Amino acid sequence: MTDTERLEKVDGPFYRNEVAPILPPKVLDFHTHTWSAQNWKVKPWESGKDGGTYMVTDEEYPPERLASDGRRAFPDRPYEAVIFGYPSPVADWEKDTAFVAAAGQHRGFYPLVLGGQELALPPGRLRRALDATPFLGFKVFLNWIGDAYGDKTIEQMLGPEEMTLANERRLVVLLHVPRSGRLADPVIQAGVVKLAKDYPGAQIVLAHCGRCYLPSEMRRAIGALRDVPNVHLDTSMVMDALVLQMVMDEIGSDRLVFATDFPVAAMRGRRVRVMDHWVDVVLDGYPPSAYRLASDGIRATFMAVEIAVAIRDAAERVGLTDARRRAIFYDNGIRLLEAVDQGRAIQRLRGEWR
């Protein structure tokens, strides 16, 4: 089957029947990447380092490709996205920042700069980047490659310089929590709660629901977030409805923001639980990667759409109102962006959109 045939015969009908009826008029995707390997010092999968083949993906992912993937997944809705670069030691920060700033001029895209203590930027450099470009916050830098990260703490990743700035300007702080225990790890929970309480103005968003892709992880994690209203969860790559149901049951749906993790979620397939780890079951043709299993013996659509299905099913189980369910796909996220620097950042950004 060609890609066009697949879009018409597989993706299109599934989207129209299963997902389109529950979406708001516009979709905001709170976690996407854009990059060019020209801004990398080395390709992770050629680095020879542990974890280098953890998430093998395209070397070029310009904003036009991201917009196109958004259109392919959600063909009848305007697609908007929070975008950021390649949050890894292989990226050259200056080049990556310039690339994302330029991509942020694309209508409907909301850029975040890479920030974090371990970038060791010169003092004041992050503040100058935020003054020069209407970034709405920062994606926290990950000082590791792939899944080779045993013992980082949140305190190591985020220091007073960037968090003071986040607190002052109500920046979005998009944080991929470290350690193998994820948000289910008490050390991580304590770190997140301390960060949220020390910097109540910061709008902390935990990527991938605190990396709790599995119910057994979310069960141990979600209670920690009950009393920290400035901590939010993005749904990128979370396709298990039970995980999202636990979130809605325990802390409600207002702090949940729809997100995909394009380009990863542009694959056709689904992230599933097998024993005590996730596995990405995908159609044939994607590069081999850890925890990725390919087959052409299945039917599959975009992972981005599977995330929406999981939200739909969780919302149905907890009896969420239609308005609250729709808000997960747009209002909950845009509210965070509009609060940055009392609305000045988003206003300036929209003025610069081409």
Whichever of 69 and 261 has its CB closer to Zn ion, that residue is 261
- Regarding 96 and contact with Zn ion (CB under 5 A), the answer is no
For Zn ion (CB under 5 A), the number of binding residues is 1
**Helix H segments across the chain?**
3-6, 12-14, 63-73, 93-103, 125-132, 154-157, 160-169, 186-198, 208-211, 215-221, 241-251, 303-318, 322-328, 331-339, 344-352
- Regarding 11 and contact with Zn ion (CB under 5 A), the answer is no
Whichever of 210 and 315 has its CB closer to Zn ion, that residue is 210
Q: Which residues pair with 282 in a beta bridge?
A: 269, 294
What count of other Cβ atoms lies within 10 Å of the Cβ of residue 177?
25
- Regarding 80 and contact with Zn ion (CB under 5 A), the answer is no
DSSP 101-118: HHHTTSTTEEE-EEE-GG
Q: Which of 29, 96, 234, 261 is the binder for Zn ion (CB under 5 A)?
A: 261
- Regarding 29 and contact with Zn ion (CB under 5 A), the answer is no
CB distance 346 to 109 below 8 Å: no
- Regarding 217 and contact with Zn ion (CB under 5 A), the answer is no
Q: State residue 274 phi and psi, 5-degree precision.
A: -125, 115
Least Å from the CB of residue 26 to Zn ion? 22
Structure tokens at 169: 């300007």
CB distance 154 to 192 below 8 Å: yes
Q: Which stretch binds Zn ion (CB under 5 A): 53-61, 120-128, 260-268, 322-330?
A: 260-268
Whichever of 162 and 261 has its CB closer to Zn ion, that residue is 261
Least Å from the CB of residue 169 to Zn ion? 23
- Regarding 234 and contact with Zn ion (CB under 5 A), the answer is no
Q: Peptide bond before 263: cis, by omega within 30 degrees of 0?
A: yes
Whichever of 244 and 320 has its CB closer to Zn ion, that residue is 244
Least Å from the CB of residue 275 to Zn ion? 24
Question: What are the residues binding Zn ion (CB under 5 A)?
Answer: 261
